[in-house]
Amino acid sequence: MHFSKLRLTGFKSFVEPTELLIEEGLTGVVGPNGCGKSNLVEALRWVMGETSAKQMRGGGMEDVIFGGTEQRPARNMAEVGLYVANDDRRAPAQFNSADELEVVRRIEREKGSHYRVNGKDVRARDVQLLFADAATGARSAGLVSQGKIGSIVQAKASDRRALLEEAANIRGLHTRRHEAELRLRAAEQNLERLDDVLKALEGQRAALRRQARQAQRYRELSEKIRQAESIVLHARWTHTMEERRKAGAALAAARDKVTALTQEAAAASAAQTDSAASLPGLRQREAEASAELQHLTVTRSELDAEERRIATARSEAETRLRQIADDVTREKTLVEEAATALARLTGERDELIAAGEGEAEAQEASGAALTQANRDAEEAEEAVHKTTEEIAVADARRAALERQLRQAEERISRLDRQQADLAERRAELIRQAVPEAERTAAEQTVTEAAAAADAADAGIPAAQEARDDAQEAEKTARAAAREMDAAVSELETEATGLRRLLMQAKSEAAPMVDAVTVAPGYETALGAALGDDLEAPALDAEAPPTAGGWREGADAGGAEWPAGVEPLAPKVTAPAALAARLARTGIAADPAAAAAAQPALAAGMRIVTKEGGMWRWDGFVQTPGAPSAAAIRLERRNRLAELDRQLADRRGALDVARSEAEHAAARLAEAEDAVEAARRARNAASDALSKAKSAAAEIESRVAAVDTKLAALDDGAARLAGEREEAVTAQGQAAEELKTLPDVEALRADSSRLRAALSERRAELVEARTEHDRLVREAESRRTRLSATEGEIKSWEQRRERADTRLSDLDTRRQGEEAEIARLASRPQEIAAEREKVVALIEAAEAKRRQAADALVSAESRQTELDRVAREADRAAGEARESLIRAESQLEQINQTLRVERERIQERLDCAPDEILTKAGIDPEAPLPDAEQTQRSLDRLSGEREALGPVNLRAETELEELTEQIEGMERERDDLIGAIQRLRSAIAALNKEGRERLLAAFNLVNGHFQTLFRRLFGGGEAHLKLTEAEDPLEAGLEIMASPPGKKMQHLSLLSGGEQALTAAALVFAVFLTNPSPICVLDEVDAPLDDTNVDRFCALLQDIVKETGTRFLIITHHRMTMARMDRLFGVTMAERGVSQLVSVDLARAERLRDAG
């Protein structure tokens, strides 16, 4: 699998459709900074599934869309396509049928991005896994962006582990393990929530069982409350209707009183109106007189004010005249001062011009002297510097050689200690090796735990099957008990109602009907025969003769019945007092037979039918109709007796059903406990298996770690031997070079002589510079003063001109003020004459106003008395109207009460007020219980019902639904437990595979890294080691390096160029371990010098030959450009818009050679 082409449209600065061919070998991308080269790398990351806007150098993912320039509008869409050859069929199964894959990512503003592979929409995860399985992707180690090398150097050891994971190609495993862990956590959380829900539902089921029992009690109380409420509502309605009649009579009396008082108030109002009509004219005359007087008063006040204003204005004019005289004196003084200043400044200007003659020649001469002195000083200083540098070089080289000697001695000593330490560590590792017996025991433990887990799993289905059978049996028993309980409750409700009705109809003396028992079906016939006589009481022998009721002693002789008629007495059990009456009563099969037999009846005889018809001996006929009250009472007594017999049978059956339901529930609880015990056993076995597997994996990890560390120690021992040999050689070379260094003392003597000459030249330079600076300052001072003098002369001339102008203005103002004073002197006499006329008019107006006011006061007093009389009449009429309103309000309140009662009756009983008793089954003609006593009974019953609290009338239905829900959730719980076990096994397998692949990759990467390091540095040693954790999946990656001539040390202690080259070696070591289809290097060669760049490029060419990987290299280095097979140039001819041009260097060379 390899990449062949990258296509961009509207991506960042590439607004036009652009294609970048990714061919075999090295492809270079060049261009000035800021032209958009790195946008190509980001496009490649983006299409491979990058999700972080920060990694794309943006605040949001929509920032990758072209944002517009001054000449071009912004785009609403960006699209990047990557063409991938799939000749080797290494793509995932869903894409593996095509020879070439076109992976396209498209983003639109406000809509987000989506992916397509060969035109088919796919998930971002599918694209990420496609590239992850190919050892590449948006975060691949093969995409080395700007700063990536530096980030490897600065990264912590644990962060560098990502490079090993890339080499081991376990990014896909990590992704799958992460998804499995997420699913495992979600499943465990779902299991916890499911357990909590099941506990809560069990509590709800117990509560619903209690609620079902409460619902039955609630229905019984509701029926009793309905009876009592009917009686109370009927009593309220009757009482309110009586109150409405009384309120209507009071309203009629109030209306008559209002009519009489309203007529009296109208007469008083007419007199008041006539008097009020004369008041406006009088008020008008009084107002006109007052207005005239006010006008004359205001005129007098205005004359006084004008006299005061004239006096003030004259005083102000005289003050201004004095001020003008003072201003004229000041301006004349200013003119004189200006003449004196101008004479002085003109003389000073002439003196400065004369002093400045010849200053240019003097400055030129001092400048030449300064230049010569400066040249002599620089020559002397150069000689001193050269000598000093020679001394410093000699001293530095001597110190360096001495330091190298010391370092070589220290290095040899340190290497000897390290070799001894390595030998000791190797012996210690051999002692720490895991015994074979421990490994065998761990494997045996895993096998036994697996067998126990299988056995525990096998026990669960049987327990669950038993639990399901117990659930079905419990459900059946519970349903039977509910049906029987409902039947008993129905019978008890009916029996209770019948007893209540029979008790309500009892009077103080027991009626005869209570002593009579009739065969079922004959109740109506007996009621037709005896009628209301059955309601009469049975009398004993001591009862007074005048008492009404049934007495014994009447003749009960037999009677002859016509054909088709049978005697009724055999169907009835009654006291002896009824014997005579029953003996003369027969029953016919139908009305026709009774009518046919009626003419044959003897005196006192009668025939009845079961339907309630009656044919008497005297010709009277009663057709069948509604049964009488006695018949109804007899039917109710018979029905109550039948209900008592049925209840006795049903209650026994109910006890049996409840007992069976309780036994079934107990068996179900035992079965559920058995299932739970099986599950706990299964979970315990699974935990034991997981622990055994973890222990075995840990032992294998320890074995692998010991092997890895032994190999690293062997490599380290060989490396230390080579380093010691290099140190001994370096020690000898430094000692030889130390003997060849020049004599430093002779150089220091020459330096002292040259420094003395330099001091003399510097003194001459200071003197020349001081003289030159003095001449320059004096010339500059004269020029500055001359310029200031010219400005002062001009300023005094302007002041003199302004003073002359102000003197002319002041003379004009003085003449105007003198004319104003003369005008104001004559006005006070005119004002005095006008004031005398106004005073005379004011006195006449005052007399006229007093006359009008007296007439108005008299009329208003009369009007006040009439107003009082009218108010008294209105008050009396108002009180009468208020009484009328109260009467109307009271009647309306009563009507409102009737409406409320009607609505309450309709709401509670669903009938009209006159139908209350009939609706409740109460005889309207019968006397009703006391309303207050009934209300107390109603309150007591309501209290009992309220004490029940909220009652769920759907409790039984909800109980069945809840049971079904619990059973379904228990099945889901079993499925979840199985899924959790499978996920744990899968995660353990992924960890084991990842650990094995990571250790194998570490050995490969370490080998490649050591080889590449020596190739890039031309020698030296380096190696990798795992740190920070025993588990390779959690360990860090530390880099140790020893460039030629240096000791072994951490990467962070190397120089900048050495760090960059070492990090590059690590990147390519990872790359060689698991080559990816493409490698992108973004200005990786920036910190390297020419020699290292040449080695770097040679390494790239070798990697291309070995792996066939296609390289895309962004660079500014001329040597890197020269080694590319082809170059693409990124330009920005139009600001903000990138363009791509290409040159195939390999083809150009072939053309040149052929030409």
Among 587-596, 625-634, 764-773, 932-941, the minimum mean pLDDT is found in: 625-634
* pLDDT at residue 507, rounded to an integer: 47
| pLDDT at 248 exceeding the cut of 50 | yes
Measure Cα distances from 169 to 134, 837, 1000, 1076, 1079 in Å: 8, 125, 11, 10, 15
As given in the structure block, the two tokens for residue 307 are: 């006299």
* pLDDT at residue 501, rounded to an integer: 61
Among 709-713, 954-958, 1056-1060, the minimum mean pLDDT is found in: 709-713
Q: Tens digit of pLDDT for each residue in 936-980?
A: 777 877 877 777 777 777 777 887 888 888 888 888 888 888 888
Instruction: Confirm if 1113 and 1140 have CB atoms less than 8 A apart.
Output: no
Going by their DSSP bridges, the two strands 1049-1050 and 1036-1042 should be labelled as antiparallel
Instruction: Confirm if 1070 and 163 have CB atoms less than 8 A apart.
Output: yes
- How many DSSP H helices and E strands does the chain contain? 21, 22
Q: Tens digit of pLDDT for each residue in 812-862?
A: 877 877 787 777 777 677 777 777 787 778 777 778 777 777 777 777 777
> Partners of 1078 in the beta sheet?
1110
| pLDDT at 1149 exceeding the cut of 60 | no
* Number of other residues whose CB lies within 10 A of the CB of residue 148: 19
- For residue 162, the SS3 value is helix
Q: Tens digit of pLDDT for each residue in 219-232?
A: 777 777 777 777 77
The most confident of 117-131, 279-293, 929-943, by mean pLDDT: 117-131
pLDDT confidence tier of residue 505, bands split at 50, 70 and 90: very low
Measure Cα distances from 811 to 322, 329, 798 in Å: 12, 12, 21
Binding-site positions for ATP read 32-39
CA distance 1026 to 1034: 10
CA distance 305 to 291: 21
Query: Once rounded to an integer, what is the mean pLDDT over residues 352-358?
Result: 71
| pLDDT at 108 exceeding the cut of 60 | yes
* pLDDT at residue 1138, rounded to an integer: 92
Phi/psi for 375 (5° steps) reads -65, -45
pLDDT confidence tier of residue 198, bands split at 50, 70 and 90: confident
CA distance 136 to 128: 9
CA distance 782 to 360: 13
| pLDDT at 627 exceeding the cut of 60 | no
Measure Cα distances from 215 to 69, 653, 961 in Å: 78, 21, 18
* pLDDT at residue 1154, rounded to an integer: 56
State how far Cα 683 lies from the chain centre.
Answer: 38
| pLDDT at 732 exceeding the cut of 70 | yes
Measure Cα distances from 242 to 239, 251, 307, 891, 896 in Å: 5, 15, 91, 12, 14
pLDDT confidence tier of residue 42, bands split at 50, 70 and 90: very high
Q: Tens digit of pLDDT for each residue in 550-568?
A: 766 555 556 778 887 888 8
> DSSP labels for 994-1025?
HHHHHHHHHHHHHHHHHHHHHHHHTS-EEEEE
- Nearest to 970, CA basis, from 470, 453, 482, 476: 470
Instruction: Confirm if 40 and 20 have CB atoms less than 8 A apart.
Output: yes
* pLDDT at residue 18, rounded to an integer: 92
* pLDDT at residue 48, rounded to an integer: 92
> DSSP labels for 370-389?
HHHHHHHHHHHHHHHHHHHH
* pLDDT at residue 149, rounded to an integer: 78
Phi/psi for 920 (5° steps) reads -85, 0
* pLDDT at residue 549, rounded to an integer: 63
The ranges assigned to domains in the chain are 522-609
DSSP assignment letter at 1033: G
Helix 124-133 vs helix 171-277: angle between axes, to the nearest 10 degrees?
160
Give the list of residues 6+ apart from residue 214 with CB closer than 8 angstroms, or none: 948, 949, 951, 952, 955
Query: Once rounded to an integer, what is the mean pLDDT over residues 859-884?
Result: 77
Instruction: Confirm if 1085 and 1105 have CB atoms less than 8 A apart.
Output: no
User: What letters, b where the CB count within 10 A reaches 16 and e where it falls short, cover 484-494?
Assistant: bbeebbebbee
Phi/psi for 1037 (5° steps) reads -120, 115
| pLDDT at 1155 exceeding the cut of 50 | no
Binding-site positions read 32-39
| pLDDT at 635 exceeding the cut of 70 | no
Whether this model's pTM surpasses 0.75: no
Percent of the chain with pLDDT over 90: 7
Phi/psi for 497 (5° steps) reads -65, -40
Q: Tens digit of pLDDT for each residue in 895-939?
A: 888 888 788 777 777 788 777 777 777 766 667 777 777 777 778
Query: Once rounded to an integer, what is the mean pLDDT over residues 733-757?
Result: 75
pLDDT confidence tier of residue 273, bands split at 50, 70 and 90: confident
